[in-house]
Structures are given as C-alpha cells and as structure tokens.
Structure 1
Amino acid sequence: MNKKNLVFLIFTLTLLFTGCIENMVAVEENAAVIEESTINADSVGDYDIAVANNAFAFDMYSQLTQLETGEHENIFFSPHSISTAMSICYEGAEDTTKEQISNVFYFPSNKTVLKVRMERINDKINSANSDYELQTANALWVQEGYPVKEAYIRNVKKYYDGEVTNLDFVGKPEASRNTINEWVEARTNDRIKDLVPENSITDTTRIIITNAVYFNGKWVYEFDKELTDKKPFYPTKGEEVSVDTMYICNRFNYGENSKAKIIELPYKGNDLSMYVVLPKSNNLEKFETEFTLNDYTELKNDMKLVEEVKTSIPKFKFETKTELSNSLIEMGIVDAFGQADFSGISDSPLAISRVIHQTFIDVKEEGTEAAAATMEEMCMGMNISWEAKPKEFKADHPFMFFIEDRRTNCILFMGKVEYPEYNK
C-alpha cells in the first residue's frame, strides 16, 4: 500500500519536561502528581493545562540541548505552539499512537477534555489588549479531493478556530507551499519566513496543519537606551566578548537560592512576563541538566518584591530552525512516525514523517518581539512583600529565559542565551 504524507505546521514559542530531582522518590512522586492532573484527568476542571504545557517545555528543552552542535548555541522554542499543533494531530489519533502522544505531551486520555481546555486557553490568549500584541492561529490545508472525516474538520473549526482550505499539493506543490508560507508570514509579522522548505511538498502530501503564535510587548519599566553600553560577556566556553548590555535600577520581583538568581520583567498590560534565570556559576551546561520544572516553580514562588534591583541584561536577537522528528521519537512518539493510527482524520493510513520548528526573538530596551513555527510531516502507515536591601542581577554569562502568560501560568516561549547575538 502506498504511503501518503500529512504535514503539520506549528508556529509559536514554547517545550517538554524532563529533569533531575535529588532522589528517585521525589521524581516518582512529582511524576505521579503530574500524571494525575494531566493524563488521568477525567473532567475539564481536573485537567491542569499549565502543568502539561510546562512539563512538556522542560522535556523538549532537554532534548534540544542534545542537538547542539556548536559552542555558542542559543535555544528558543514555543511549547504552546508545538503542543497546540500536536493536539490537532492528537484529535485524530487512536490506539498506541494516541497513547504515546498523550504520554509525551501530557494530554488527557479523554480527547474532549483536551479540546475544550485548548479552546478556552486560546480564547484567553487571543483576547484583545491594547498594551501588547499576542495572537495564535491555526489552519488545516487539505489536498483537493482527499477524504478527511467531517467530524474531524468540525472539531478543528470549533475547538481550534482553524481555517480549512483545499490546495493542489499534487499538481501545484510550489504554489501550495507559497500559500502556506504567506499565511505564516502574515500571522507572525513577517518574522517567520519559508517555514515549509523547498521540495518538502510532494505528490504524496495530503494534509498540512499550521499553528502560528506572535508576541510583541513593551516592558512596564523600559531600559534607558542612553544607559546601554558595551560590557563584557563570558560564554561558558570560549573567550570574553563585548556585547550591548542594557541597564536599569528599579523595583522588580527577585529571588535566589544557592544555585541561581531569578528576576521577573513584566510587560505592559500585566498579563505576560519574562523570567530570567541566571546560574550563579558560569556553567549553564551543568546547571540546565539539573534544573527541573519543580526547581523553576520553587524559584519563582520564593521571589520577593525588591525596591532596588540593579539589572544588567544583554540585548539579544536570533532565529532558530530545528528538525524535531528524532527528538519526539526519542521522547516516545514512535508509532506516529511509522505504524500510525490516525483513523480519526481519514480512513487512508497516515504517519508523521518530519517536524520542523522555527522561531524568532528580539529583546531590546523597549520590550520583546517573538515568533515561532513548527512543521510536522506525516506519512501513511509571587509573593507580596518588600525586600529593602538592594540586589544585583548581572547577566554577564549564559542564562535561561521564559515568557509566561500570567493568566494561565503557561510558558509560551522558553530558551537560553549562550551568546547574545544582536544584529541591528
């Protein structure tokens, strides 16, 4: 039987959960709590979508660190975008294909629970706010004449607000590719280009699912451009470099423990914040292997409002484009790339063949602009208290960062800066 391709495109900034906890008992207890509130959730009210999203974020981050090939590898991705795209895929998955996707993404076994929660969180993300731009969008692109089940199309439209469009992948592959790429560019303010690579659409392509996420926000407390200056930055490996470093002394939520410091940089509108986690030792490679979702949550919960935090953070702007197929297979999604069961989408056999994730981030004095995209191809077969003592947050060596939606507690974007690239 000939195999047919089903391509899924995801656009956003967000991750998976994996981490080291000091003892195996703690690991097992934490995993049991996460599983109970995610995979085993029996109702919409029981499903903790933030825990699921953030756990996946840390797992995916762990996988991405294994893909690094150079000394100055920055990481940036959108767990929410990847999860949203995969949830549209999950809607049509059955049997062990469904089970494996559920285990990796912490999706509830009950599909209705997932799609209702995804509908609600996307409605909240897309709620209008004049203080910032934050939008997510989904689309389903179908080969003309290909028999996709009506129930699946209805669910994509209702719960994911997905646009459904017929294209001629077989007769006009390049025109189809351009149409999809233009859709992505339009929904990411032209920051994500050529998500669908040349020659990726073939005569076996049948469906492409796209998810796009775009964020542009200004800081509540903007950095003064006059105070931006060249300062030394010390990569984990390699020699000292001189980078454009922003400075501000203001009131921020701040915390620290024996291993790291954390600061919250809120965006106007107070719905989103960037959290920067700075290891106290200049060894991010070691730190990130031990830093878990539980550690991150505890670090955030222990923050206090400090009247004066002398804050130095480098400007950074970079793009990434990553093939995620092998990472997802390593994480446990095996059948979906081979003997898959996506009979909820079509009676014609389908299987994932590739997953591509593309992102953009620009952090400067005024605020942050961020975007990301992912492509999956399938083949058939805070505490309110004051701390008066001034603190210093000096990010002069590699650090991790998170952009969170404070309304949902979901990590929308996650990454690390090994080398602060900034090309004007």
Structure 2
Amino acid sequence: MTPADPADARAFATATSAFGLDVWRALRARGETGNLAISPASLSTALAMTYGGARGETATAMQRTLHLATDPDATMPAAGALVRAWNAPRETYTLAVANRLFAEDSYAFRDAYLAATRDHFGAEAERLDFVSAAEASRAHINEWVSSQTRERIRELLPSGSIDPLTRLVLVNAVYFHGRWQHEFDRARTEDLPFFANGGEASVAVPTMHARGGRYGEDEGVQILELPYTGDELAMMIVLPRERDGLAAVEETLDATRVEQWAGRVTERHDVDVRLPRFRIETGSLALRTELEGLGMAIAFSDRADLSGMSADGAQALAISDVYHRVFVEVNEEGTEAAAATGVVVAVRSMPANPPPSFHADHPFLFFLRDTRSGAILFAGRVVDPR
C-alpha cells in the first residue's frame, strides 16, 4: 500500500470542508430553507473513492469540483489516511467511518482499483446481482448502511435508485457518538421561546442551560464551541446577532469563514449558554443536479471516463446519481450523528464585559469539526428545533 504524504492528507481535510460547503450553498440555492444537515466527510470520502477510478477530463473536472490538490493515485492514500485517523479506537467517543463497494456480479472491474479502495479505504467489494435482482440489491445495501450507522440511516437508496444498468455502488457511512466535555444539567433544562424561521412569533422548546465554554464574536455573529470528551472533536455553533440574520450569514459561508470563526473562540467560564435540544433527520438527498452545477457534469454524461475502475471496454461507466442522508441529535449529554453517501455508477445510458450571553433562541448554524485537521464532519442549520 502506497503511504500517504502527510501534506496531502492535510490538504484532503481542507478540501473536505471546502467541497462540503459548496454542496451546502447548492442545496440552499435549490430552496432547502428548513432544518438541514450534511456530512462533508461522508460526501468527500465517497467521491474520493469514485475519483480514484476517473481519468482524463472526468478526473480533471472532479479534481476541481472536490477542491483536490492531487491526482487520483495520490488522493486515494491521502483520503485513506484521514479515514484511518478517524477510525482509530478511542475510549472517550465513538467515530466510525465505513466504506464498501457493491459491484455487479457479471461486470469486470480492474483488480488494481479494487485493491486500492480496499487498502486505503477499507472498502471490501461485495458482488450483487443488479441485473436480475435490483430491488433486493437495494434492500441489501440499505441494510448494510443501517447496521453501520446504528440504525440511524435506514433508507439511503430510495426506490428506483438501483436498476439493471447499475454496475457499482460506492457507499460511505459515518457514525459519531460523543459526550460533551462539560455536560448540561438536565434539571436546568426548561421550555423557553425560540423564534422559529427568524420570525416574530415564538414556539416553546426544551432549552438547555450551562455556564462556560469557548466563546467568540465576529461580524454579525456570536460563536460558541463545545468540545467533546477527548478534546479532539467539537461542535461550533454560530448564532446570528439578528433573529432574521441567518440568510445573510449563509450568503458568505465557506470553509475560510468557518476557520475564521474557529480562530475567534477562547475559553470563557462566565458565558451564559442557552441552547435548544434538537434533532435533524434529512430525507435521502439526490445530489446529481447540484454536483453537475458545481462542475462535475461530465462524470454523469456519456462522455464520462471511469476507465480506471472498469476492465470492460465494451460497457463504459458513468455516475447516475449520488445519494446522501444525515441524522444529528443534540441533547444534555452530547451528540449522536450519522450520515451515509452512496455513489451509483451505471452503464452509460473577543468578548466584552459584562459576561457574555449566548442564547440560541433563533435560527443558527452548527459545525461538528475535527479540531486536529480542521475537517468538517457534519454541518447543519436549525431553524426550528421541534
């Protein structure tokens, strides 16, 4: 197995955040205005496995869209190094990243490609009969995703997503469960007003209360970072100063801005924190249109070149769609989050005194980050915690 250059692994972490927030903006342009969550880590990992088999103009387009600094052969070990770091066993929290290839039994794939995805991503190739048992194959893949996400993601691939033309499904599943370094006291949780959707009318939602945290301020926002036990991962919450200010904050949202916010926070023992409990469970998001708009259209077309994975020159491949689904729950003890991404490949057819208050009583953003690499594992928007 080719070892990863540490600089390439760091660059992939940076690319993960940049690409994930590109997808975020594309979903926002689609009209996704309610609660929303994505996993940049899951999306980038699944598409990095796909990029490993891309060649020519398709590889160039994917490299640009995914913000990658390296060619397919160098990206596989770089992404794999990050996956292995996330999967390292820990006593303080659970972070599991699982990958698998589901391949059409009758189709010939390059041994070198299958070996690379196995060695770098831990993605074993499982043969299925898409040609005559497409629906049973879809159910089997969904069962695998469910098992890898502790049953939080039950139906990644919707009905009709697998058909007799499907030749390969590349799946990534991410599961996280962590406890806050300083837990909220359930006895202090009370129903308080939340101005859902930034409006004038409020709804009563269970709101947690604590004192202390990593706090900072930037133009138009307050920032709170809550570390998990182990102090390797943290949730950063970005609260617009204005009740209806979320849209303006999202207009400028990119990876550089997130890093800027992260650099603003410092430990404060006097900040008064009020944060609603929330749970977000997205439907299965089909991302083909968004990825085409971000510059990957060739990968979905009859001009796609995925010859790095295919050993069958008679049946050229193209991506038919990319499906993504996320679950996030935040409560007094900590956070549980899960995400899955499936790529379906088919035959072409600083604070001031007095002590600051961080009262999240209106829509806000959150980012679950690996504070070592800066990679965003999960990102979300809460406009109504109910």
Q: Which TM-score applies when normalising by structure 1? A: 0.84
Secondary structure of 2:138 counterpart? helix
Secondary structure of 1:332 counterpart? helix
Alpha-carbon distance, 1:299 to partner: 2.2
Alpha-carbon distance, 1:186 to partner: 0.7
Alpha-carbon distance, 1:356 to partner: 1.4
Q: Distance in 2 between matches of 1:258 and 1:149?
A: 51
**Paired position in structure 2 for 1:35:** none
2:10 counterpart of 1:74: no
**Paired position in structure 2 for 1:244:** 206
Which of 354, 357, 361 lines up with 2:328 in the alignment? 361
Secondary structure of 1:176 counterpart? helix
Q: Distance in 2 between matches of 1:238 and 1:74?
A: 18
Q: Distance in 2 between matches of 1:179 and 1:271?
A: 34
**Paired residues of 1:351 and 1:379 also in contact (CA < 8 A):** yes
Alpha-carbon distance, 1:374 to partner: 2.1
Secondary structure of 1:208 counterpart? strand
**Paired position in structure 2 for 1:310:** 272
After superposition, the CA RMSD in angstroms is 1.9
**Paired position in structure 2 for 1:297:** 259
The one-letter code of the counterpart of 1:225 is R
1:93-148 CA-partner distances (Å, limit 9, x unpaired) = 01111111101111234223211211211111001111111000110111112100
**Paired residues of 2:99 and 2:124 also in contact (CA < 8 A):** yes
**Paired residues of 2:167 and 2:347 also in contact (CA < 8 A):** no
**Paired position in structure 2 for 1:380:** 347
Are residues 44 and 269 of structure 1, via their aligned partners in 2, closer, same or farther at CA, if it must alter by over 3 Å?
A: closer
1:71-110 equivalence runs, <5 A: 73-110=34-71
Q: Distance in 2 between matches of 1:51 and 1:356?
A: 22
1:351-404 CA-partner distances (Å, limit 9, x unpaired) = 1122211110110111100011223323333x9xx9885221010110010001
1:144-182 CA-partner distances (Å, limit 9, x unpaired) = 121001111111111111111111112222321222111
**Paired residues of 1:44 and 1:114 also in contact (CA < 8 A):** no
**Paired position in structure 2 for 1:344:** 308
**Paired position in structure 1 for 2:370:** 405
Secondary structure of 2:7 counterpart? coil
Are residues 120 and 387 of structure 1, via their aligned partners in 2, closer, same or farther at CA, if it must alter by over 3 Å?
A: farther
Q: Distance in 2 between matches of 1:239 and 1:357?
A: 33
The one-letter code of the counterpart of 1:311 is V
**Paired residues of 1:398 and 1:418 also in contact (CA < 8 A):** yes
The one-letter code of the counterpart of 2:115 is R
Q: Distance in 2 between matches of 1:291 and 1:359?
A: 20
The one-letter code of the counterpart of 1:213 is V
Over 6 Å off, 4+ runs: none
Secondary structure of 2:89 counterpart? coil
The one-letter code of the counterpart of 1:52 is A
**Paired residues of 1:64 and 1:75 also in contact (CA < 8 A):** no
Q: Distance in 2 between matches of 1:304 and 1:161?
A: 38
1:11-66 CA-partner distances (Å, limit 9, x unpaired) = xxxxxxxxxxxxxxxxxxxxxxxxxxxxxxx9652562222111112211111112
Q: Distance in 1 between matches of 2:6 and 2:225?
A: 30
Structure 2 gaps of 5+ residues are none
- Sequence identity (%): 36
**Paired position in structure 1 for 2:249:** 287
Q: Distance in 2 between matches of 1:172 and 1:50?
A: 38
**Paired position in structure 1 for 2:154:** 193
Structure 1 gaps of 5+ residues are 1-41
Are residues 199 and 296 of structure 1, via their aligned partners in 2, closer, same or farther at CA, if it must alter by over 3 Å?
A: closer
Q: Distance in 2 between matches of 1:296 and 1:86?
A: 22
**Paired residues of 1:307 and 1:388 also in contact (CA < 8 A):** no
Q: Which TM-score applies when normalising by structure 2? A: 0.92
**Paired residues of 1:53 and 1:411 also in contact (CA < 8 A):** yes
Secondary structure of 1:66 counterpart? helix
Q: Distance in 2 between matches of 1:291 and 1:201?
A: 34
Q: Distance in 1 between matches of 2:51 and 2:157?
A: 21
2:386 counterpart of 1:418: no
Alpha-carbon distance, 1:203 to partner: 1.3
Q: Distance in 1 between matches of 2:190 and 2:103?
A: 51
2:357 counterpart of 1:392: yes
2:282 counterpart of 1:320: yes
Q: Distance in 2 between matches of 1:198 and 1:291?
A: 33
Alpha-carbon distance, 1:341 to partner: 0.5
Q: Distance in 2 between matches of 1:45 and 1:257?
A: 30
Which of 180, 183, 191 lines up with 1:219 in the alignment? 180
Q: Distance in 2 between matches of 1:215 and 1:378?
A: 28
The one-letter code of the counterpart of 2:106 is G
The one-letter code of the counterpart of 1:61 is W
Secondary structure of 2:250 counterpart? helix
2:236 counterpart of 1:275: yes
Secondary structure of 1:148 counterpart? coil
**Paired residues of 2:13 and 2:82 also in contact (CA < 8 A):** no
Secondary structure of 2:274 counterpart? strand
**Paired position in structure 1 for 2:164:** 203
Q: Distance in 1 between matches of 2:168 and 2:70?
A: 24
Which of 17, 34, 52 lines up with 1:54 in the alignment? 17
**Paired position in structure 2 for 1:329:** 292
Q: Distance in 2 between matches of 1:257 and 1:217?
A: 27
Q: Distance in 2 between matches of 1:56 and 1:197?
A: 24
**Paired residues of 2:20 and 2:43 also in contact (CA < 8 A):** no
The alignment of Structure 1 onto Structure 2 pairs a total of residues equal to 374
**Paired position in structure 2 for 1:148:** 109
2:90 counterpart of 1:113: no
Q: Distance in 1 between matches of 2:231 and 2:32?
A: 37
**Paired position in structure 2 for 1:180:** 141
